[in-house]
Amino acid sequence: MFQVRFHGRGGQGVVTAAEMLSVAAFTEGRYAQAFPSFGSERMGAPVVSYCRIDDHPIRTREPVMAPDALIIQDVTLIHQVDLFAGLSSNGYVLVNTLQRFDELGFGEFFSQFHRDRLLTCPATEFAIEQLGRPLPNAALLGGFAALTGEITLDAIDSAIRGRFSGAVGERNVAAATAAFRFASLAKEELTRA
Amino acid sequence: MTSQPVRFYQVGSFAVGNRLFDKENRTVQSDPHRSNSLDSGHRACQGCGEALGARYALDAAMRATGGQLIAVNATGCLEVFSTPYPETSWRVAWLHSLFANAPAVATGVAAALKVKGMQDVRVVGQAGDGGTVDIGFGCLSGMFERNDDVLFICYDNEAYMNTGVQRSGATPPAARTATTEAVGAEPGNVFGQGKDLPRLAMAHGIDYVATATVADLHDLEAKVERAMQFHGARYLHILVPCPLGWGSAPNDTIRVARLAAESGIFPVFEAEHGEVTAVSPIRHREPVESYLSLQSRYAHLFGEHGRPDIVARIQAIADHNISTYGLLEEQAVGTGSNETSP
Amino acid sequence: MLRQIEGSRAVAETVARCRPEVVCAYPISPQTHIIEAIGAMVKSGQLSPCEFINVESEFAAMSVSIGASATGARAYTATASQGLLFMIEAVYNAAGLGLPIVMTLANRAIGAPINIWNDHSDAMAVRDSGWIQLFAETNQEAVDLHIQAFQLAEELSLPVMVCMDGFILTHAVEGIDVPDQSDVDAFLPPYEPRQVLDPSDPISIGAMVGPEAFEEVRYLSHLRQLDALERIPVLAGEFTESFGRESGGLLHCYRTEDAETIVVALGSVLGTIKDAADARRAMGERVGVVGITSFRPFPHDAVRSALSRARRVVVVEKAFSVGFGGVLSTDIAMATHDDDLTIHTVVAGLGGRAITQHSLEGMLVDATNGRLERLTFLDLDHGIIERERDRMTATRRSGPSAENILRDLGTVASRIG
């Protein structure tokens, strides 16, 4: 089972992101479960959502306590929320920011982690470029596909198109593709380094 | 065909004698083949105004709909005295659910009829004043606001009679009830409280609102018939004296109801689309004292330790009604039957 | 067709395929997505004929359903938590009148303190109302139970409540098969009422019944629930034949044949419990699971037989009777009648507190080693409680407990789970 936890703020499409990832996994013939952290949070409040992917039916209903990957949609959360709770040193982290991962001020926290599993990606910029709005969720899924290899970009694209019809869907796909390319290159650099 | 104006006051009681009318203009109640929606054998008290009002109203509704009627009843006297298990006095399809929800249940009946394409079957919801102005008001307001196809009738006897005469939001000032006893400096119910439900109904913008009393059968039946010409939410507020709760003689029920109208304390009017369109004018204005003194719930206002000051305050309310609704005007709006008495 | 969709969406589509004729809606989390979706289907004409009525309260929602059902229409509504309590008088009334209304209960805690998250306090508050109460373990089962619920309700002329865990199921997106319209039509015949308001054959419904007959009328309701005990497994069997999967029934047993310890629960937590049971089995402990699907009527015989070989039973409950203890546990004890069987009540998941496999396993280890008390509260923070008790001892005006405890906890947003 591969478990993903999404952190962001109300209004950033955190719940939709988990849902789209689960749909993408489903289209690849896998079992998937997505659910929000069920708050009554208003726009701007910290929000969490979850997605599990497995080759077997998923029975558990507990929140994702030990994620294999974290997608941080809002970089301002990193020193406010206990984002990394339960994350093992084999885990993946994808942060939405223009900064590089090493510039985020984590100090020694990630020293035991695989460096090529820790990435940042300017998803908001990709979204603004394509959609004119700071909605980074679809783009981050493209980045996630490149970072983890748990899902194909094609499946992500199809899930995005299933959620957003017409031009909005295509622009989100474009943002996801841009983020996928960005993350692939970044990961390649880290692997070579 | 020659016509002769009908003189309404030949019977001496101010009632309209059926024998003076052509057959088609006689009341539903005068028809031996009327539906008898609320049949004999029920357990209401002698002189019960509510039993009278319910039979008048539902028989008129039955005639207006050709018998295609479903009635929904709130908990209360009417429900209790009409259906002591295993008997029922209802000869209409009749449903009782709860005290507070009759308007909503009626909405459900109307919705089911609509979905089944049976809109020729009409729905009447009915409750006492407690079930209408107090505990049922939320559901009633919702039904009005959605403009559901229901005629809702309030049989107003101005207190919770079923439970032993406790004050309701329709209890008038100074009236003694079991929870507003006739003691202290301000005996009976206090002034300045209570809901004017017909006005509240009008404020919802529903098509038709009317008031009536059991003293004027023709008027009551005409209003039910008029109400049935509309589809959507409609409201009829009928004053029904309660001998038990009002402390009036059972054989005075009609007289007390008439005095309520003739004193101006209970204005009888019709409103369409939120505007008053007709009032029943007062022919023989009576002081409120004539009305109040027949009822022991006002006994503390009269006699040796009487309170003429309070009677005066009640008279002021009646006077206000008379001027607000124009109840003494010679030609009130839209009233056709304004013949002078002999 | 199997699709990856939200539980609420799947239930809404399924209810629509059951062709309800009157649907009432009053919004309350976490039920909203269901009625929103049905409302859209009615407005677009996809679900027709159907009257969708936005009412002014849950009390009205159930009341409108009562009127519609008594007039021969298939009626549906959904609610949760405070909404269920607000309509409770009409809930009892619908059962007393024997009207086959189907209602989804998106289980949620009851305040105060106000809490929008999942537990089973709402369902337990109406367990004696005369409604049939079916609990769904998964969203697939929630979907399937709704189809069976209409069939069961109308056959017996009793209302049925399908309980599904708020948020945990209603807001979860997973692979769910929403049956085709033709299959639902083949399974569920049109509603043929046992009693109906009809001007051509007028009857009185809702008469006052005194001491001379009230007990008999109530006993008849009980008999009809007992009839439901017979019909529920039969319907589940017919459902399997028609739809090719198992859903519903009185209860589900999981690895109980040789189990020394059996965990009993209602609803979606059974999934996590099964994972925990498998993990304990891998450690050599013989753990099984029984999920109760039909909570009312309560399947005494089936429960007794399912638990007959166990040494201990752990009832995990998302609700409890304050000042007493477990609710479901009491029913289990009644059903088993076995003095040698130890029954533990573990209250868990109140107000949305996550029930984790880790905590469940710890509790099971305690149970196996004889360390589990008869009544425990899973993951209870005793320190917080001691602090508040101290405050209450120290000063008369100690203030509202809920707010004091929140202050002790500090910021909640930073916590996961």
DSSP B88-116: --B-SEEEE--SS-HHHHHHHHHHHHHHT
**Distance spanning both ends of chain B, measured CA to CA:** 24
What percent of chain C shows pLDDT beyond 90? 95
- How far is Cα C59 from Cα C149, in angstroms, rounded to an integer? 22
Two structure tokens written together for C414 = 């930073």
pLDDT at residue A37 in the model:
87
Q: Residue B25 — φ and ψ, nearest 5°?
A: -100, 0
Two structure tokens written together for B201 = 């109904």
- How far is Cα C143 from Cα C37, in angstroms, rounded to an integer? 14
Would the CA dihedral through C392, C396, C400, C404 be positive or negative? negative
Instruction: For residue C75, give the amino acid letter.
Output: A
Residue with tokens 């309520």: B260
- How far is Cα A128 from Cα C395, in angstroms, rounded to an integer? 56
Which residues in B185-214 are b (16+ Cβ under 10 Å) and which e? eebbbeeeebeebbebbbebebbbbbbbbb
Is the predicted pLDDT of residue B11 greater than 90, yes or no? Answer: no
pLDDT at residue B2 in the model:
63
Among chain B residues, the shortest Cα distance to C89 is held by: B98
Q: Do A61 and C29 touch (CB under 8 A)?
A: no
Burial of C203 (0-12, 13-18, 19+ CB in 10 A): middle
Please give the average per-residue pLDDT across C97-115, as a whole number.
97
Pick from C50, C53, C208: which is nearest to B107 by CB?
C53
- Number of domains making up chain C: 3
* Under 8 Å between Cβ of A15 and C6: no
Pick from C6, C174, C413: which is nearest to A46 by CB?
C413
Is the predicted pLDDT of residue B20 greater than 80, yes or no? Answer: no
The range of the structural domain enclosing residue A42 comes to 2-192
Looking at the fold, whether C357 and C227 belong to one and the same domain comes out as no
Residue with tokens 């993990």: C279
Please give the average per-residue pLDDT across C357-366, as a whole number.
98
Pick from C173, C357, C415: which is nearest to A35 by CB?
C173
pLDDT at residue C410 in the model:
76
Q: Give the tens place of pLDDT for each residue, A139-191.
A: 999 999 999 999 999 999 999 999 999 999 999 999 999 999 999 999 999 98
Q: Tell me whether B92 touches chain C (CB under 8 Å).
A: yes
* Residue B326 CB contacts under 8 Å (≥ 6 apart), including other chains: B279, B332, B333
Looking at the fold, whether C97 and C205 belong to one and the same domain comes out as yes
Q: Tell me whether B109 touches chain C (CB under 8 Å).
A: yes
The gap from C-alpha C327 to its chain's centroid, in whole angstroms, comes to 13
Looking at the fold, whether C293 and C330 belong to one and the same domain comes out as yes
In a domain? residue C382: no
Looking at the fold, whether C91 and C56 belong to one and the same domain comes out as yes
Q: Do C90 and B101 touch (CB under 8 A)?
A: yes
**Distance spanning both ends of chain C, measured CA to CA:** 33
Question: Chain B interface, mutation test: which of C19, C59, C88, C197, most B Cβ atoms within 10 Å?
Answer: C197
Looking at the fold, whether C167 and C227 belong to one and the same domain comes out as yes
pLDDT at residue B7 in the model:
52
- How far is Cα B156 from Cα A192, in angstroms, rounded to an integer? 88
- How far is Cα C145 from Cα C142, in angstroms, rounded to an integer? 5
The range of the structural domain enclosing residue C312 comes to 251-377
Looking at the fold, whether C36 and C135 belong to one and the same domain comes out as yes
pLDDT band at B330 (very low <50, low <70, confident <90, very high): low
Looking at the fold, whether C185 and C315 belong to one and the same domain comes out as no
Please give the average per-residue pLDDT across B29-44, as a whole number.
93
- How far is Cα B106 from Cα B110, in angstroms, rounded to an integer? 6
Q: Tell me whether B121 touches chain C (CB under 8 Å).
A: yes
CATH of the domain at A61: 3.40.920.10
Residue with tokens 């019944």: C209
Is the predicted pLDDT of residue C339 greater than 90, yes or no? Answer: no
Q: Say if strands C160-165 and A31-36 run parallel, antiparallel, or are unpaired.
A: unpaired
- How far is Cα C80 from Cα C106, in angstroms, rounded to an integer? 5
Looking at per-residue pLDDT, the higher value among C166 and B11 belongs to C166
Looking at per-residue pLDDT, the higher value among C250 and B84 belongs to C250
- Nearest to A190, CA basis, from A110, A80, A75: A110
Pairs across A and C, CB distance < 8 A = 88
Is the predicted pLDDT of residue C416 greater than 70, yes or no? Answer: no
C-alpha dihedral over C37, C42, C48, C50, to 10 degrees?
100
Q: Tell me whether A26 touches chain C (CB under 8 Å).
A: yes
Looking at the fold, whether C62 and C192 belong to one and the same domain comes out as yes
- How far is Cα A179 from Cα C373, in angstroms, rounded to an integer? 54
Looking at the fold, whether C129 and C12 belong to one and the same domain comes out as yes
pLDDT band at B86 (very low <50, low <70, confident <90, very high): confident
Beta strands, E only, chain B: 69-73, 93-96, 122-128, 151-156, 208-213, 234-239, 269-272, 275-279
In a domain? residue C110: yes
In a domain? residue C124: yes
Among chain C residues, the shortest Cα distance to B38 is held by: C204
Q: Say if strands C261-265 and A2-9 run parallel, antiparallel, or are unpaired.
A: unpaired
**Distance spanning both ends of chain A, measured CA to CA:** 30
Beta strands, E only, chain A: 2-9, 31-36, 46-54, 69-72, 92-96, 118-121
Bridge partners, A3 (sequence order):
A52
Q: Give the tens place of pLDDT for each residue, C125-162.
A: 999 999 999 999 999 999 999 999 999 999 999 999 99
- Nearest to A72, CA basis, from A43, A52, A49: A49
Q: Do C204 and B88 touch (CB under 8 A)?
A: yes
Looking at the fold, whether C263 and C239 belong to one and the same domain comes out as no
CB count within 10 Å of CB B183 equals: 10
Q: Say if strands A2-9 and A46-54 run parallel, antiparallel, or are unpaired.
A: antiparallel
Looking at the fold, whether C306 and C366 belong to one and the same domain comes out as yes
Whether residue B172 has a cis bond before it, omega within 30° of 0: no
Looking at the fold, whether C231 and C364 belong to one and the same domain comes out as no
- Number of domains making up chain A: 1
- How far is Cα B189 from Cα B182, in angstroms, rounded to an integer? 8
**Whole-number Cα distances in Å, B39 to B44, B69, B81, B90, B330:** 11, 16, 11, 6, 40
Burial of C112 (0-12, 13-18, 19+ CB in 10 A): exposed
In a domain? residue C49: yes
Q: Give the tens place of pLDDT for each residue, A95-139.
A: 999 999 999 999 899 999 999 999 999 999 999 999 999 999 999
Q: Give the tens place of pLDDT for each residue, A11-63.
A: 899 999 999 999 999 999 999 999 998 666 678 888 999 999 999 999 999 99
pLDDT at residue A186 in the model:
96
Q: Which chains touch C (3 or more CB pairs under 8 A)?
A: A, B
Least confident of C4-13, C279-288, C402-411: C402-411
The gap from C-alpha C117 to its chain's centroid, in whole angstroms, comes to 14
Question: Which chain C residues are closer than 8 Å to B107 by Cβ?
Answer: 53, 55, 60, 63-64, 67
Among chain B residues, the shortest Cα distance to C42 is held by: B115
Q: Say if strands B122-128 and C261-265 run parallel, antiparallel, or are unpaired.
A: unpaired
For helices C401-409 and C382-394, angle between their N-to-C axes, nearest 10 degrees: 130
Is chain A touching chain C, with at least 3 CB–CB pairs below 8 Å?
yes
Pairs across B and C, CB distance < 8 A = 161
Please give the average per-residue pLDDT across B54-60, as a whole number.
98
Is the predicted pLDDT of residue B341 greater than 80, yes or no? Answer: no
Is the predicted pLDDT of residue C415 greater than 60, yes or no? Answer: no
Hey, what domains does chain B have and what are their CATH numbers?
Answer: 34-325 (3.40.50.970)
Pick from B83, B93, B100: which is nearest to C199 by CB?
B93
Question: Which chain C residues are closer than 8 Å to A60 by Cβ?
Answer: 271-272, 275, 357
pLDDT at residue B337 in the model:
42
- How far is Cα C303 from Cα A156, in angstroms, rounded to an integer? 46
ipTM of the complex: 0.95
Would the CA dihedral through C359, C365, C367, C370 be positive or negative? negative
pLDDT at residue B16 in the model:
54
Is the predicted pLDDT of residue B333 greater than 50, yes or no? Answer: no
Looking at per-residue pLDDT, the higher value among C403 and B57 belongs to B57
Is chain A touching chain B, with at least 3 CB–CB pairs below 8 Å?
no
CATH of the domain at C277: 3.40.50.920
Q: What is the CA radius of gyration of chain B?
A: 19
Q: In what order do the strands lie in the sheet with A2-9?
A: A118-121, A92-96, A69-72, A2-9, A46-54, A31-36, C173-177, C2-6
- How far is Cα A156 from Cα B239, in angstroms, rounded to an integer? 69
